[in-house]
């Protein structure tokens, strides 16, 4: 039985749930948990298939989901990851920044590509040696909780510090830091009122060449800090993880 748990019923959790409802993800039952149970109940009422709302992670684990998707916060990763892995449950982590501090490696932890692509190419280059990765992210001020009327450089520094200062908006920086060595990744964040999308430009210098990647993504209408592509990358990864689980379960 394909059962999926989702921790966090905000923008990303909702998009994933609706993908399951539309059968984009093959799932027999969805288990929802949010520290604000009213959000979980509201999402359940909007869906038209088998959904169970639980009051805590322990209740979710008892229902034996094949995969749990964390779509809540870095703190949720810190609070729940060990318990999930101890139960041998596959875990998809959206709040990637938490993994920079935890330094935990497990084949049960899965990280979606998020709001960018080309992660496979960067990972391949890192095997040979990456000299530098520069991420320049431009967002509308409202996505950064700002109100500037002119373009403004908000941050310039390391990926690890960017993730600490902008925990909900810099998962791209965390993904790059985990793909290459964290000290190789430099980040610039620009608040630009002329920008209506979340724009990520990535320059990579590695042993055998250079790469230039650029992604311009619509923000999620309910959460401008999040690109719509981030949720869809999680949906793709969820499908792959469920398919792998089904194959291993049948052998």
Domain ranges, ordered by start, for the chain = 3-111+229-250, 119-217
Q: What is the pLDDT of residues 198-217, one digit of tens each?
A: 999 999 999 999 999 999 99
CATH number at 119-217: 3.30.360.10
Residues forming the active site: 200
- pTM exceeding 0.85: yes
Rounded Cα gap, residues 248 and 251, in angstroms: 5
- pLDDT recorded at residue 251: 62
116-173 pLDDT, tens digit each: 999 999 999 999 999 999 999 999 999 999 999 999 999 999 999 999 999 888 999 9
pLDDT recorded at residue 246: 83
According to CATH, the topology of domain 3-111+229-250 is Rossmann fold (3.40.50)
d(Cα 54, Cα 41) in Å, to the nearest integer?
Answer: 9
Q: Does 72 have pLDDT greater than 80?
A: yes
């Amino acid at each position: 039985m394909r059962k999926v748990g989702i921790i966090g019923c905000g923008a990303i959790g909702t998009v994933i749930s609706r993908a399951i409802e539309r059968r984009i993800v093959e799932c027999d039952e969805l288990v929802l948990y949010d520290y604000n149970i009213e959000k979980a109940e509201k999402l359940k009422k909007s869906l038209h298939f088998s959904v169970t709302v639980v009051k805590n992670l322990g209740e979710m684990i008892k229902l034996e989901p094949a995969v749990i998707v964390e779509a809540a916060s870095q703190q949720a990763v810190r609070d729940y990851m060990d318990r999930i892995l101890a139960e041998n449950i596959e875990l998809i982590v959206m709040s990637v920044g938490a993994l920079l501090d935890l330094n935990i490696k497990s084949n049960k932890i899965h990280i979606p590509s998020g709001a960018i692509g080309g992660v496979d190419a960067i990972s391949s280059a890192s095997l040979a040696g990456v000299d530098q990765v520069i991420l320049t992210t431009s967002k509308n001020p409202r996505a950064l909780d700002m109100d500037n009327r002119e373009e403004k450089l908000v941050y310039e520094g390391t990926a690890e510090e960017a993730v600490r200062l902008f925990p909900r908006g810099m998962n791209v920086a965390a993904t790059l830091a985990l793909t290459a060595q964290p000290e190789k990744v430099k980040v610039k964040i620009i608040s630009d009122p002329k920008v209506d999308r979340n724009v990520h430009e990535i320059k990579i210098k590695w042993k055998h060449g250079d790469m230039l990647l650029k992604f311009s993504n619509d923000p999620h209408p309910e959460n401008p800090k999040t690109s719509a592509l981030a949720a869809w990358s999680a949906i793709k990864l969820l499908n792959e993880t469920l398919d792998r689980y089904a194959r291993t379960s049948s052998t």
